[in-house]
Amino acid sequence: MADHPHKLRYGILSTGNIARQFAHGVQEGASLSTIHAVASRDPRNALTFANTYNIPKPHNSYDDLINDPNIDAIYVALPNNYHHEWTIRALNAGKHVLCEKPLAVTTQQATEMFQAAEQNDRHLAEAFMYLTHPLTKTYIQSIKNGDIGTPKLLRTSFSFSVAYPENNSRFSTALAGGSIMDIGCYCVTLALLVADATTSPGSYPSQIHAIAHLHESGIDDYAAVTLRFPNNLIVSFVSGMTAQMDNTTYISGDNGYIQIPVPWKPPVQNATFHIDHNIPSKQDKLAKPTGSSPNQKQSFNINTPNDKPLYALEADAFADTILNDAPPFITPEFSLRTARILDEIRSQINLPF
């Protein structure tokens, strides 16, 4: 592989839905990343994709892509069950890997993937893009600053209704789908972020309770989970692929609460969160101030730097670690904790893969 160029040169594995969003975002607004190549099982799709997103090199097979000497990093945008195999193959071919979430089907697989990264002296990161948006960083900092006092409750969700479940990997047990794997995983990471913001990083739930409804395809199409952390933070979340929801998230402390209307795919401009102190709950006319804060609602509107698209932020965050030794936006330890919780949830809902 050549010396580091000014920009990290990505190769994209697949031409599916998220591959398109990633390519669009990076080509539109990344500053440290560029896309050099793409591969598809179908050469016609690789060519069309390359032409659409101005990518110099379409490859006719995944193998050709991971062995391309003009690529520094592979973006693995395959269904969940393929993450383990193709991440390890790309790492063994000397490439860094940004792999879509959830990183792996099991903790065992995730562990093997990080071992391969270490053996090959390459970086591997799980592509939770919302972690790289300044909105997320700002409200987590606000918790650390003590703006809502001690966080007690996190209530969140990631739920929507899929229009065409047929032929959608999210509804396939063979492809390791299901609402917990597809989007419940975001809620798990937010639970860990908030728990880490209030205690020393690395805490793991002392209790996990999960229930789910299983779709005729075999996967969970909606689920509810509660987590309790050793510092008494209690989290409840729901995930769903056949249930519509707006996914507003609340983090409640003894001196106020944070409300995040769009936590998972925040916009480029005016990504918003609110902090409410002593605002009456809807059934009450008067709120008696508690603590030192007066009745007050503060709103924060956050833009990405230079209006950088969400997936360009993510690509550049990974590139910054590789090119400039910047701290990683997500650590192996964080991904492994996430995988362990997902394993436990799936075991409780009888969905072992």
Ligand X SMILES: NC(=O)C1=CN([C@@H]2O[C@H](COP(=O)(O)OP(=O)(O)OC[C@H]3O[C@@H](n4cnc5c(N)ncnc54)[C@H](OP(=O)(O)O)[C@@H]3O)[C@@H](O)[C@H]2O)C=CC1
Ligand Y SMILES: O=C1CO[C@H](CO)[C@@H](O)[C@@H]1O
Nearest residue (beta carbon) to ligand Y: 182
Residues in the site for ligand Y, rule: CB under 6 A?
A: 101, 160, 182-183
Nearest residue (beta carbon) to ligand X: 16
Q: For residues 159 and 255, which CB has a smaller minimum distance to ligand X in the complex?
A: 159
Q: For residues 277 and 308, which CB has a smaller minimum distance to ligand X in the complex?
A: 308
Least separation, in Å, of the C-beta of 206 and ligand Y?
A: 28
The edge-to-edge listing of strands for the beta sheet with 249-253 is: 207-214, 220-228, 234-240, 151-159, 249-253, 256-260, 271-277, 296-302
Q: Which does 301 bind (CB under 5 to 8 A by kind): ligand Y, ligand X, none?
A: none
Q: For residues 116 and 225, which CB has a smaller minimum distance to ligand Y in the complex?
A: 225
CA-based torsion, 188, 191, 195, 201: positive or negative: positive
Least separation, in Å, of the C-beta of 163 and ligand Y?
A: 11
Q: Which does 15 bind (CB under 5 to 8 A by kind): ligand X, ligand Y, none?
A: ligand X
Least separation, in Å, of the C-beta of 194 and ligand X?
A: 20
b vs e for 332-341, b when ≥16 Cβ sit within 10 Å of the residue's Cβ?
A: bebbbbbbbb
State the Cα–Cα distance between residues 76 and 90, nearest whole angstrom: 9
State the Cα–Cα distance between residues 39 and 80, nearest whole angstrom: 17
Least separation, in Å, of the C-beta of 308 and ligand X?
A: 16
**Closest alpha carbon to 212 in 203, 223, 226, 201:** 223
Least separation, in Å, of the C-beta of 244 and ligand Y?
A: 12
Is 131 a residue that touches ligand X (CB under 6 A)? Answer: no
Is 182 a residue that touches ligand X (CB under 6 A)? Answer: yes
How many residues make contact with ligand X (CB under 6 A)? Answer: 20
- DSSP tag of 80: G
Q: For residues 87 and 120, which CB has a smaller minimum distance to ligand Y in the complex?
A: 87
Least separation, in Å, of the C-beta of 235 and ligand X?
A: 21
CB atoms within 10 A of CB 200: 7
Q: Which does 78 bind (CB under 5 to 8 A by kind): ligand Y, ligand X, none?
A: ligand X
Burial of 284 (0-12, 13-18, 19+ CB in 10 A): exposed
Asked whether the beta carbons of 337 and 201 are under 8 A apart, the reply is no
**Closest alpha carbon to 45 in 80, 68, 20, 75:** 20
Q: For residues 198 and 239, which CB has a smaller minimum distance to ligand Y in the complex?
A: 239
Q: Which helix (H) or strand (E) holds 324?
A: helix 310-324
Q: For residues 78 and 117, which CB has a smaller minimum distance to ligand X in the complex?
A: 78
List residues binding ligand X (CB under 6 A): 14-19, 40-42, 45, 77-80, 100-101, 127, 129, 169, 182
